[in-house]
Chain A
Amino acid sequence: MSHSNTENIKIRVADLTFSYRGRRILNDVSVDFAANRITALTGPSGVGKSTFLTTLNRLWENIPDARMKGRVEIKLQGKFRDVYARDLSVTELRKQVAMVFQTPNPLPMSIRKNIAFPLKLAGEKNREVISSKVENTLKMANLWEEVKDRLNDDARNLSGGQQQRLCIARALVLEPEVLLLDEPTSSLDQASTTVIEELLTGLKDRLTILVVSHYLEQVIRISDRVVEFADETIVS
């Protein structure tokens, strides 16, 4: 299932097959995703939507007893790169293809350190640069005003919605080109969901966003395209 506008393609997936503990999850999936769009991945539980996301940033490789075949290419810095090629470091890939999980998962550290964590991983040591990026990213995630006076507090003390925005901010701090979100609002109330939906809509000019969602209304509200999963493959 290919996207019509080849100029604007950001992600190309071809013949992707995935199995976990011997059970086939995805079978021969081929699909393209356009750049600077929000694409919603929908379908019943257990059809491999979340698994599909982990094949784009190779996170599945940390899950024991999982196997994958197929080809995934992502346009990074203007050039298509084979995600599984030996010359592409997995850590570099994940800095460009960030991911936010279903349950908010702030690291057990302060708000500031959570946001600065990816910068630290990337080797950034300049405190001024770090402070400025932390502030800018929190502003981008519409969280700055709520936390600016308690940046050294434990991030786990934030509300669920704030924690999820913190996780989105943390994923954005290295300025990735692709953002993968696995049901980011499923554990949140309506008010927090609305804030995050607005945030995602505002981000699509800078990023390519793939979001797994079960909620039809949400899919209609925020997505430019819907990809539906069923029976180990994509049906629409």
Chain B
Amino acid sequence: MKFRTLEGLTVLFSWAAGLLLLSAVSLLLGYLLIKGYQSVNLSLIFGDASPLRAVLLKERVFDGLFPAIAGTLVLVILSIVWAIPVGVAAGIYLAEYAGSRVKKVLDVFFDVLSGIPSIVVGLFGFSFAVFLHKHYSDRIGPCLLISSIALSILVLPYIIRTTQASLEGIPLDLRLTALALGATRFQNIFLVLIPRSLSGIMSGIILAIGRCAEDTAVIMLTGAVASAGLPHSLFSQYEALPFFIYYISSQYANPDELMQGYGASIILLLLCAGLFSLAYGIRKGLNYWAFYRP
């Protein structure tokens, strides 16, 4: 009887927690949409410029979010490009090759890394930029490259941990299947274990994309500025949506400007949704290519 009551309470609590989460997300999205939907239009993105000419890079956008959207997109892609190979490789090493002692040490190291506040990572990026400026070239300063490297450090633990957990979660039977058929350890990892873990690995990458797209503390110290136009090189400063949202919400002069902040938030969410869909599509495509292609 006691256990039945306890089970009933657990189920009730689980339902309530799920419902609370769903309500919180719905409330947040609803609030953003209600506040910002009126300001989301072509003029918010392109200002007075012609959208087509702006997209074709024939006209510069001065008073719209287009440079910030482009900056965010380039920043996220660069950060993920740096983070994926290192994160996946480290996850594979921890799950498949590391001895128990090395694993313990690295586990602590990556736990510490995942707990470092983003402002500290930003400060590290800034210090790195200053170091390069002093010792290598005075043309190097806070820029897109430094921001993307700092962000990739910030998101590395997500990719490492999800890769490691996905690989370690594979049942022993499946782990031994390819080996019993004559596969080498390397073949087993790359032909069976990693493809089988793609879903988990992609979850980590999606988390990392979200984090790269939203983080403000890192980029405000390493290269994001309020007005820079489209990013034209790895060493240029750039505009980014989270920085714009932070800037406008702390400096707005009138309600219309604040509305632009809400509009930018909706665009940032849509951008993330687009990147998540792309990541999901890539996962499906890779899965088909690896396992079901005739």
Residues of A at the B interface (CB closer than 8 Å) are 57, 59, 62-63, 91-92, 94-95, 98-99, 101, 103, 105, 107-110, 112-113, 117-118, 120-122, 152, 154, 170-171, 174
- In the assembly, what is the distance between CA of A93 and CA of B183, in Å? 11
Contact A121 B181 (CB under 8 A): yes
Kindly list chain B residues whose C-beta atoms are within 8 Å of the C-beta of A107: 174, 177-178, 192, 291
Q: For the complex, is B27 an interface residue (Cβ under 8 Å from A)?
A: no
Cβ distance A175 to chain B, nearest Cβ, rounded Å: 12
User: By the criterion CB–CB under 8 Å, are B181 and A110 in contact?
Assistant: no
CB within 8 A of B292: which of A92, A103, A109? A109
CA–CA, A171 to B290, complex, Å?
21
Task: Give, as a whole number of angstroms, the nearest-CB distance from B186 to chain A.
Answer: 11
Nearest opposing residue in chain A for B184, CB measure: A91
Given A63-B172, A91-B182, A121-B181, 9 other A-B residues pairs in contact with their CB atoms under 8 A: A62-B175, A62-B176, A94-B180, A105-B177, A107-B174, A107-B291, A108-B195, A109-B292, A171-B181
Contact flags (1/0) for B12-32 with A, using CB distance below 8 Å? Answer: 000000000000000000000
A59 to chain B, nearest CB (A): 6
Interface CB pairs A-B, < 8 A, 28: A59-B176, A59-B180, A62-B176, A91-B182, A91-B183, A94-B179, A94-B181, A94-B182, A95-B181, A95-B182, A99-B180, A107-B177, A108-B195, A109-B291, A110-B292, A110-B294, A112-B294, A113-B291, A113-B292, A120-B191, A121-B182, A121-B187, A121-B191, A152-B292, A154-B291, A171-B180, A171-B181, A174-B182
A101 to B177, CA, bound (A): 8
Query: Is B35 positioned at the interface, with any CB of A under 8 Å from its CB?
Result: no
Interface presence of B196 (CB below 8 A): yes
Shortest beta-carbon contacts, A-B, top 6: A109-B291, A95-B182, A99-B180, A94-B182, A118-B181, A91-B182
Docked complex Cα distance between A103 and B290 (Å) = 24
Chain A residue nearest to B183 (CB atoms) is A121
Q: Which of chain B's residues have a CB closer than 8 A to the CB of A92?
A: 182
Contacts of B195 in A (CB 8 A): 108
A105-B174 contact, Cβ under 8 Å, with A110-B291, A112-B294, A154-B292: yes
User: What is the CA–CA distance of A101 and B180 in the complex, to the nearest angstrom?
Assistant: 10
* Residue B138 at the chain A interface, CB threshold 8 Å: no
Q: Could you tell me the distance in whole angstroms from the C-beta of B194 to the nearest C-beta in chain A? A: 12
A105 pairs with B179, CB closer than 8 A: no
- Interface class of chain B by DSSP: helix
B-side interface residues, number (CB < 8 Å): 22
B179 contacts A62, C-beta separation under 8 Å: yes
Q: For the complex, give the distance between the alpha carbons of A65 and B177 in Å.
A: 20
How distant is B54 from chain A, measured CB to nearest CB, in Å?
45
**Across-interface contacts of A99 in B (CB, < 8 A):** 180
**Which residues of the partner chain B approach A113 to less than 8 Å between Cβ atoms?**
291-292
Residues of B within 8 A of A91 (CB): 182-184
Complex interface: chain A residues within 8 A of B183 (CB): 91, 121
Question: A106's closest neighbor in chain B, by CB?
Answer: B177
Report chain B residues within 8 Å CB of A63.
172
Within 8 A of A (CB), among B181-227: 181-184, 187, 191-192, 195-196
From A98, A109, A152, B181 is in contact (CB under 8 Å) with A98
A59 touches B174 (CB 8 A): no
Assess A108 versus B179: contact at CB under 8 Å? Given A91-B184, A121-B187.
no
Let me know if B173 is at the binding interface, CB within 8 A: yes
Name B180's closest neighbour in chain A (CB-CB): A99
Query: Quick one: given A91-B183, A170-B181, are A152 and B294 in contact (CB under 8 Å)?
Result: yes
Q: How far is the CA of A62 from the CA of B170 in the complex (A)?
A: 14
Contact between A101 and B173 (Cβ–Cβ < 8 Å)? yes
Chain B, residues 257-294, CB within 8 Å of chain A (1/0): the string is: 00000000000000000000000000000000011101
**Of the residues B172, B175, B180, B196, contact of A108 by C-beta under 8 Å:** B196
Contacts of A109 in B (CB 8 A): 290-292
Contact across chains for A117 and B181 when beta carbons are under 8 A apart: yes
Q: Determine if B178 and A103 form an interchain contact, defined as CB atoms under 8 angstroms apart.
A: no
- Closest chain-B Cβ to A193's Cβ sits at a distance in Å of 20
Contact partners of A112 in chain B: CB under 8 A: 294
Residues of B close to A108: CB separation below 8 A = 195-196, 291
Closest-by-CB residue of B relative to A117 is B181
State the CA gap A110–B207 with chains docked (Å).
30
A63 to B291 CA separation, bound complex (whole angstroms): 27
Q: B196: nearest residue on chain A (CB-CB)?
A: A108
| In the complex, chain A residues whose CB is within 8 Å of the CB of B187 | 121
CB distance from B193 to the nearest CB of A (A): 11
Instruction: Give the distance in Å from the alpha carbon of A142 to the alpha carbon of B120 in the complex.
Output: 64
What is the minimal beta-carbon distance from A93 to any residue of chain B, in angstroms? 8
Query: Is B173 touching A105 in the complex (CB atoms < 8 A)?
Result: yes
Which residues of B sit under 8 angstroms from A101, Cβ to Cβ? 173, 176-177, 180
Within 4-18 of B, Cβ neighbours of A (below 8 Å) are at none
Residue among B176, B182, B195, B290 with the highest chain A CB neighbour number at 10 A: B182
